[in-house]
Chains A and B, each alone.
Chain A
Amino acid sequence: MTMLQHAILLLILPLVSAAVIALFLRKRGALASYVSTITAGLIAAISIILLLHGERNFPNASWEWLRFGDFTISLGIKFDDLAALMLFIVGFVGFLIHVFSLGYMHDDAARARFFGGLSIFMFSMLGIVLADNLFMIFIFWELVGFSSWLLINHYHHKQSAADASKKAFIVNRVGDFGFLFGIIMCYWLNGTVSFSELADKAEHGQLVFSTLIPLLLFCGAVGKSAQMPLQVWLPDAMEGPTPVSALIHAATMVAAGIFMLCRINVLMVPAALNVIMWVGTITALYAALCAITQRDIKKVLAYSTLSQLGYMVAAFGLGSTATYELIDLPTNVVAAGVGAAMFHLTTHAFFKALMFLGSGSVIHGCHHEQDIFKMGGLMKKMPVTFWTFTIGVLAIIGMPFLAGFFSKDAILYLAMEKNSAVFAILALTAVLTSFYMVRLWKITFLGEARSDDAKHAHESGLVMTLPLIILAVLSVVGGYSGVFGKLAGSIAELVPEAHGSNHTIILLVSLAVMTIGAGSAWFFYKASANDTLEEKSPSLFRLLGWLKESFDRLYNYYVAKVQQRFAMLLNFLERVFLADTIIGGLGRMVGLVGLGARALYTGSLHTYVYWFLLGAVVLWAFAAGIF
């Protein structure tokens, strides 16, 4: 089989799995879970084969799907180093999460729907990774949105889950509004939406640059990667089962926004990158502040994900340290920060999936308790979960020699070189990150058990702990060039590296922010049933809480008070004016003018018809400008 056929098989496998489950295995949860997991295993295997085989950019890998005149929409496969890296993350992490789910969802009544949903998700996500043009990415973009909706809504009898899924879908659609508009604009201005052709045009200086196109396309990323101001859906999405949060809302789908940006980097112009950089930076800080006051273990991780996604977006916007210039171009071509963004995306996928699955293991062990202040003392009861989770925490706060250390340093170095304000904010965010992460870790695992559920906590089975161990290993080694270089190929060469004195500065800054954040949390928080910050400084605690609430309040106000009232108003006008007064009245009016009022009240249907006909003719004549 050729490598191209392997890639096509990647798309077909999960689709077949989802179809088989939906059609035949609806009531056979166990079988459905095995079908889905085996499929995920095959996907992981094929992605590794494709990664290692080394063949890239398959020729003739595009098929026409629809044609009107000379407008065509094609589906095709673009497999370069970027796709290979992303494919490995989706395939391998996805497989581990499938395995974990076998244990986590074992007692769920709707297991078949869950695993069917996971398969649809894998199909959609792989489509994004392999897409060779913007229309195709949009198609699968919408489909991941659907699978996300389906899986957040898994516990659909809960009103909160139903609301959260709806919110996620609609907020994403708001972002997609800009995305689709940008795709159409790109199509008409450049005549193509194929990534290869766009890159080709850029190389020959034929690309039409516009600040609007990349910014509109970025709207899609703002929705999918939950950047401000559309970040509100991601914390609510934690209503879904924990493996879903790990797979979709931490490691893969939310990172698709960054992946998409890297795909379209040739379209970037400085002004657009500037906006992207600031959106990412502010999101990173805002989400880190929100994370401090959370009590729900998954919500802390969700805000942390938001913050780290902000890091990646900021890295992309900061641009690359390596500048390349092309002759005869209307604008200065800038290289976006693809290397640093993808590097952090990779390590984040490992350690955040690890921590989400760890939290899943904790929740499973504590009989579905999610409040960290009702946990405690889990270190001894759940040793494997504890140690792997600890590695995840160390990785995210940037402990030297773990994966997060390298990727975060790359971004900080980039910021230091490019923009000192952004550098300061990102460094502050790093302090906050270690602060809330150590808080979470200490309150959850140390001290005494603070509830019956925590007292009777038990370690999860091998099927759940094994994925944790594998992800922990990746969280340790994922940052070394021996590993990341192998995974990312030429992308790894784009990662900015500090040398000489810069290297020392960055190392010191990085160590300082980690130590300050982690140390203050370690000494500040007590593993007790109450939030220490709430006791010591209620006003600060309230302020942070308000910060988190403010967006939701604003949007809720808009939806309930503005949008819905506007809809009700239009509905009222529709009923009163249009339904009977204007259209009916127009006929009557014409009748009055032309033939006197009496004829109108004959009560006969026919007369009414003719008056109405006359009214419509007059309406048309008026519109046609006859009088």
Chain B
Amino acid sequence: MNFSNASLLQLAIVTPLGAALVIALGLPKRFATKLAAAAFALPALIALWLWSQFPAEGAQNYQFLSSLDTGLASFGISLKLGLNGIALPMFHLAAIVGLAAGLYALRSSAERLKTYLVLLLVMHGGLLGVFASVDIFFFYFFHELALIPTFIMVGIWGGRDRNYAAMKMTIYLTVGAMLSLIGLIAIYVKSDASTFDLIELKRAIAVQGIGAATQNNIFGVLMFGFGILVSLWPLHTWAPLGYGAAPSSAAMLHAGVLKKFGLYGLIQIAVPLLPEGAAHWAWKLALLASLGNVLVIGFVTMAQRDLKQMLGYSSVMHMGYCFLGIAALSTIGTGGVVLLMVAHGLSVALLFLLATSIHHRTHTFDMSEMGGLAQKTPVLAAFFVAGTMASIGLPGFANFWGELTVFVALWNFSPWITAVAVAGVVISAIYGLRSAAWVFFGQPTEALQRVTAAHPPADLDWYERLPALILLAALLFFGFYPKAISQPVDQALTSTVARTAPVSFQR
């Protein structure tokens, strides 16, 4: 255990929460924005440092471990933090997207900017905590900490239909979270380990095991609970609506990072602890994800005219690939999901950011009322095209590796499901390129000409460009060097997952 690195990890989580507290206590606005900027930047720097400290080999277990007694030790709960190979990339995703969303929010024209920043900082702190938690209780606690500000932000700063969207999002996500909690508590009860510590739980279950029927039931609860949070078809309808209404930074953080909580829970907790349950549910999950998320939602995405709704639906579709990778129950599939989660988080955050930037220039989200914007704003067009290409899985961007490895893994599960999943690549190319063409190419529509005559659009300024550049650079970095993710993930998978799973995790 490296003490200093462990405390850096704690510092990364405490910084945004602390900054939120200070700002909430009444820091003047001009200091508040500076403090917020620092609080968004520091975790990203720490994350980079921890990455460099993560051992390239032999890191099967959690690194940077630390444990704090919170007075709940008698319930088997303690604030235990650490990162394993799967948590490390996710922690980075949270740090990078949080930084980008924060930088973008600093200049937003939102009313009550300080409250907005406080909520965003709390959300950021919660997200970092989720992926750094080794204790299942705190894993859940940090998720709630990040989730509640989302509802408030949608309700206050949301766009069209914000009340309905906020209510629907709250209902769905609360239910999802409750189901997950039930499942997690069931694991705690059935394992007889009297601890929420994931490492201890794994050890206890490896010795005793949980009965197959119990595993099936618990995994089912977790699958639907986490499934709602990740927008598993047909429990996804909150997502396009919620993202359509959410303010950009909240949408970036939720779609980019918080949504991955469910997938992360499945990979890190449900599948390794309940392998037989996972095998029992794999086919059902794969069918829902391939026919529902990929195929049906793929077509639904094609029918969208509203840019943000389109992005929301495309995000639901890409979650289908993540579920499929998990259903494949193999090292390749699970590794592919981690890659895809990071990649999708970066690309969807980039696209939500740019959607807002487009809105500032066109005063609409309706793509059929745009066109020809590339002539006025070439840099914005270039970023949007890059984001689109990333999200439809062009090589050179991180998403490609995730999709490719998931497809490869799926073959062993079922070639037919693979065929459906690969067909999704054509569908996403259709809606992705079409949206880019609608917004940026050809000649502007009359509606847009009226808007641009009144407000001549400027190209992307530096306050929009910097966060976009951070996200794009990360996408390209992982796209050219996927090993940065696959190396730690592979170490974690081949050791912990492969040992506990009765299903073959090696191919």
Q: Which residues of A contact B (CB under 8 A)?
A: 64-71, 73, 135, 138-140, 142-143, 146, 149, 153, 156-159, 161-163, 166, 169-170, 173-174, 176-177, 180-181, 184-185, 187-188, 563-564, 566-568, 570-571, 574, 578-579, 582-583, 605, 608-609, 612-613, 616-617, 619-620, 623-624
Contact = CB atoms under 8 A, between A and B. Distances in A.
A143 B397 CA distance: 11
B373 to A, nearest CB: 10
Size bracket of the B interface: 35 or more
B394 A613 contact: no
B303 A564 contact: yes
B304 A69 contact: no
Contact of A157 (B389, B423, B442): B442
Given A176-B425, A616-B179, A567 B302 contact: yes
A220 to B, nearest CB: 12
Interface in B360-413: 372, 374-375, 389, 394-396, 400-401, 404-405, 407-409, 411-412
Contacts of B110: none
A105 B226 CA distance: 55
Nearest to B176: A616
Given A67-B483, A71-B408, A187-B408, 4 more contacts: A73-B401, A143-B394, A177-B423, A567-B300
B395 A140 contact: yes
Interface string B23-66: 00000000000000000000000000000000000000000000
Q: Is the contact region of chain B dominated by helix, strand, or loop, or is it mixed? A: helix
Contacts of B228: 616
Contacts of B284: 623
B303 A184 contact: no
A69 B506 contact: yes
B429 interface: yes
Interface in B289-303: 296-297, 299-300, 302-303
Contact of B395 (A142, A149, A185, A570): A142
A162 B441 contact: yes
B221 A173 contact: no
Contacts of A166: 433-434, 437
A619 B489 CA distance: 34
19 contacts: A73-B405, A146-B394, A156-B374, A157-B441, A158-B442, A166-B437, A169-B433, A170-B433, A173-B425, A177-B423, A177-B426, A570-B303, A571-B300, A571-B304, A574-B300, A605-B170, A612-B171, A616-B235, A620-B220
A143 B217 CA distance: 45
Nearest to A142: B395
Interface in B186-243: 216-217, 220-221, 224, 228, 234-235, 237, 241
B441 A153 contact: yes
Nearest to B338: A68
Contact of A71 (B179, B498, B507): B507
Given A66-B486, A69-B332, A158-B442, A170 B430 contact: yes
B442 A180 contact: no
B265 to A, nearest CB: 16
B422 interface: yes
B507 A69 contact: yes
Given A69-B494, A146-B394, A620 B507 contact: no
Contacts, number: 173
Contact of A68 (B415, B433, B434, B486): B486
A70 B224 CA distance: 31
Contacts of A158: 442
Contacts of A140: 395
B467 interface: no
B437 A69 contact: no
Given A68-B335, A157-B443, A173 B486 contact: no
Contact of A159 (B401, B415, B442, B487): B442
Interface in B419-438: 419, 422-423, 425-426, 429-430, 433-434, 437
B175 interface: yes
A158 B371 CA distance: 11
B157 interface: no
B336 A68 contact: yes
A65 to B, nearest CB: 6
B98 interface: no
Contact of B490 (A67, A73, A185, A623): A67
Contacts of A177: 422-423, 425-426
B441 A70 contact: no
A170 B429 contact: yes
A605 B171 contact: yes
B321 to A, nearest CB: 14
Interface in B265-300: 284, 296-297, 299-300
A188 B412 contact: yes
Interface in B433-458: 433-434, 437, 440-443
A620 B280 CA distance: 14
A616 B405 CA distance: 32
Contacts of B178: 613
B221 A620 contact: yes
Taking each of B336, B372, B441, which has the highest tally of chain A beta carbons within 10 Å of its own beta carbon? B441
Nearest to A188: B411
A187 B297 CA distance: 29
Top 6 A-B pairs ranked by shortest CB distance? Answer: A69-B331, A68-B335, A162-B441, A571-B303, A159-B442, A567-B303
B493 interface: yes
Contacts of A161: 441
A323 B155 CA distance: 74
Contacts of B482: 65-66
B141 interface: no
Interface string B467-507: 00000000000000011001101100110001000000111
Nearest to A113: B378
B490 A68 contact: yes
B394 A609 contact: no
B357 interface: no
B167 interface: yes
B395 A68 contact: no
B505 A162 contact: no
Taking each of A140, A163, A184, which has the highest tally of chain B beta carbons within 10 Å of its own beta carbon? A184
B425 A180 contact: yes
Taking each of A68, A181, A574, which has the highest tally of chain B beta carbons within 10 Å of its own beta carbon? A68
A185 B416 CA distance: 12
Contacts of B498: 69
A570 B174 CA distance: 27
B330 interface: yes
Nearest to A572: B303
A170 B392 CA distance: 11
